[in-house]
Amino acid sequence: MLAIYRRELQAFFGTLVGFGITGAFVVVMMLLSLMLDPLGGGGDWFKRGELSMRTFFGVFPWVAAVVLPAVAMRLWAEDRRQATFEMLMTLPIPTWKVALGKYGAALTFLLFMLAATCVYPIMLAQWGKPDWGPVVGGYVACFVLGAGFIAVGMFVSGLTDNQALAFFVALLMCLGIVGVGELRGLLGDLARTNPDAALTHLVTIPVFMLGLLAAAVGRDRILGAAVSVLAVVVNGGVYLMAQPDPKQLAEKAKVSGETVIAALGQISVLEHFKEIGRGVLTTNSLIFFASYVVLFVTLNVMSLESRRYS
């Protein structure tokens, strides 16, 4: 496993690609941190007259959802393209050790990317008296969220030998993961007008997504097609159902709205990210991000095993 780790680390730092990605990440984060105001109404940093990392941590999930798939896209796709995948799969070590070696190297590169932004806290220390709790908590939140995105990217990379396709699919998945929290308002509004539809979407969409992941891992096109058709039928058909009378609708809407908002709050990446970013390291949030990592690393190993013995 250490040999795989060193090999992948050399691939990150042995070329200019890794440093180019890091440089682009630092520049984008710095520019967005200086020029945006997540609270609105205050203008950029120069107009606010405030040196703060609030914007840095506010934009990180969205920037990471774009940058980290580019980091992870080559982890398996490059081996498949260069025909070294078969060599890795015939090594006398378990597949999970090969996967963890690659994943560990990608995490090390993530730490390097975050360390490259250390100029920001240095500026805070030089020109002010910051509260270091949220700063440290924010970096911990960035790392655990980034670890989840890399796991997603590694899983997708193991499904194809096309790095561009691996990047695009992982990008959509990571943006979708971040965007789940933004659905709270949308589904909350829907729950007031069509509570049955809101609850149906809340319950069935995650189930169908897991079905599609299972189809991707097992390379089962029939399962993938069946899940897709069933998802369209179930989530579209709920709008054809007869609506209850106004009194029943009000009662169901209240229960549905509370359920939807509470459920999305628990599965929202942004909610847990912000909680850790405030310096509150709760077991709930750490387990949440650890679950993302374990899920997608396990799916990656399972997909590789299906190819190893097929």
pLDDT tens-digit profile of 153-191?
Answer: 999 888 877 888 888 888 888 888 887 766 665 666 666
Residue 299 has pLDDT above 70, yes or no: yes
Q: Are the CB atoms for 250 and 192 separated by under 8 Å?
A: no
Please state, in angstroms and rounded to a whole number, the distance separating the CA atoms of residues 271 and 187. Answer: 16
Please state, in angstroms and rounded to a whole number, the distance separating the CA atoms of residues 21 and 30. Answer: 14
- Say how many C-beta atoms besides its own lie within 10 A of residue 300's C-beta: 27
Across 43-52, 189-198, 262-271, 295-304, least confident range: 43-52
pLDDT at 103: 92
User: 101-128: string of b/e by CB count within 10 Å (b at 16+)?
Assistant: bbbbbbbebbeebbeebeebbeebeeee
* Burial class of residue 141, CB neighbours in 10 A (0-12, 13-18, 19+): buried
- Tell me which range, 129-133, 147-151, 203-207, 227-231, is most confidently predicted by mean pLDDT: 147-151
Q: Are the CB atoms for 98 and 91 separated by under 8 Å?
A: yes
pLDDT at 50: 59
pLDDT at 68: 92
Mean pLDDT, to the nearest integer, of 69-87? 80
Q: Are the CB atoms for 146 and 68 separated by under 8 Å?
A: yes
Q: Are the CB atoms for 173 and 66 separated by under 8 Å?
A: no
Instruction: Name which of 65, 74, 80 is nearest 307 in CA terms.
Output: 80
pLDDT at 111: 93
Tens digit of each residue's pLDDT (9 = 90 or more) over 13-62: 877 888 888 888 988 888 887 766 544 444 445 555 556 677 788 889 88
pTM score, whole prediction: 0.79
Mean pLDDT, to the nearest integer, of 120-132? 75
Please state, in angstroms and rounded to a whole number, the distance separating the CA atoms of residues 118 and 53. Answer: 11
Residue 107 has pLDDT above 90, yes or no: yes
Tens digit of each residue's pLDDT (9 = 90 or more) over 201-231: 666 766 677 676 666 666 667 777 787 777 7
C-alpha dist (Å) from residue 165 to 109, 134, 223, 277: 22, 37, 21, 32
pLDDT at 39: 47
